[in-house]
Structure 1
Amino acid sequence: MDRLKGKVALITGCGRIGNIGLAVCEAFLREGASVVATDILTNDQEEIVNSLVGKSSADRVLFLQHDATREEDWQRVADQTIATFGQLDVLVNNVGIALEGGVIDTTLESFRRSMAINVESAFLGTKICAPLLETAATRHPGGGSIINTVSMASYMPSAHHLGYQTSKAAARMLTLCNAVELGPKRIRVNSVHPGTTHTPMLREGFEHYVERGVWSSMEECDRALAEMCPLKMNSEPEDTAHAFVYLASDESRFVTGASIYHDGGLGQRY
């Protein structure tokens, strides 16, 4: 407990119950951080805020609507973070979208949307928030921390998810370039690469597989993917959140440019 005490974290992509962003918020709150949770979706905002406040206190939670592909939205959210908490120590770029299609059937619009949500959002977040994170070096031995949610898709090619795999590979390189640039400012930049994790996005993927007849049911799909994993299981968002806590904490003060493969070993088989 208290591994993140005294830190303020801005976490994007927190607008759906059961997703990784929300699990990271909960884990950070348990470890003593204050969190700014954002998402373009606000349908579940009241339930999300009540859930987070129930794990901490109202003065440590702020939920903001936020289009992470728009620079002006990033500036507004950064300004509100400072106005509310007076500092920023951790940025988690977590928004993402998974669009299907290969090179023949993917439209330019769809490809650009994948790049905008999965790559440009992290570029903008880092660009706007890095000057704020630089001051964290005076407060914490580990300085500032940026954590990008990438995916095992960044190192696993697919004929059917061109935009997703390509954008995630780009996000991985963005992480490495930013780690080199921002290291002298005592800002660490790392990425977490989740594998098959039980989130709303994964369930939607399962539904598409069932609709196309690849598997007969959601349960069969889940079992088949678990069987592919060396650990013979799929992950929960709470499992993944532990990696974010480590990278946000001062325990990882000598870690930057790292890619944590949280995929149960699945990516190493392909």
Structure 2
Amino acid sequence: MTQTTAADIAALAERGVTILGCGKMGGAMLRGWLAAGLPPEAATVLDPAPADWLRELAARGLRLNPERVEDAAVCVLAVKPQVMAKAAPQVAHLAGRGALFMSIAAGTPISFFESLFGADAPIVRAMPNTPAAVGRGVTALIGNAAATEAHMRLAEALAGAVGAVVRLEAESQMDAVTAISGSGPAYVFHMIEAMAAAGRALDLPDELAMTLARQTVIGAAELARRSDASAEQLRRDVTSPGGTTAAALEVLMAPDGLTALMTRAAAAAARRSRELAG
């Protein structure tokens, strides 16, 4: 995992970082940078409806909705895709000042930003996910032709403040990334819902069923994180031949079971990602 270093933070602090749109994902990334040592006065946020915590940070030096952003080492584009065309021009002048543009807008291709900022502007498209809010996200990155290795390392350092980072070989992989890791937390949360519902069907009280389901997923995820064993091996370690887990896995691993269902679900998400990209 790429880690954000003190040198990375110092480089950002010198010219600053601007965030266009600071909702859940943009906010998660800003919190990560601040936790890594970025001083509030080095951050600029452009958001028409800033959250209370951003207003509190403004009292400590964060630049909130200035009339104009004069400079930035990085400009993070974090508004919703449907309003990007309207919002992005307010930072377009930063392209002439050598800023790196880093987009976390789902379904918005690099070519869209090149049409706004020019093909010579360094642009990195990123797909983080919501566990970034607790420092456990994973972000996939791909840069345009103008993004140098130094730009990519900077993008990795930024994303590394909120979790793991991977580089893609081609932008065409982004739809699959969106389907697996971008949308993936929702699948896990639904698994918790489904396990709790199964517990209720077995006459467990609602609260107990949800507690067991939630804590089981949390514990299994932490075990997977800490272990060097593969997911397959971890599954085998829980499964005694002829036991209760084996009985359940016969259902989940049937030809029409969980893998087939997840494959169809991810395919639907990837298809929708391609549709959003136009």
Q: TM bucket by the smaller chain?
A: 0.3 to 0.5
User: Quick one: higher RCO (CA 8 Å, sep 6+), 1 or 2?
Assistant: 1
The structure with more radius of gyration? 2
Question: What is the TM-score with the length of structure 1 in the denominator?
Answer: 0.42
Question: What is the TM-score with the length of structure 2 in the denominator?
Answer: 0.41
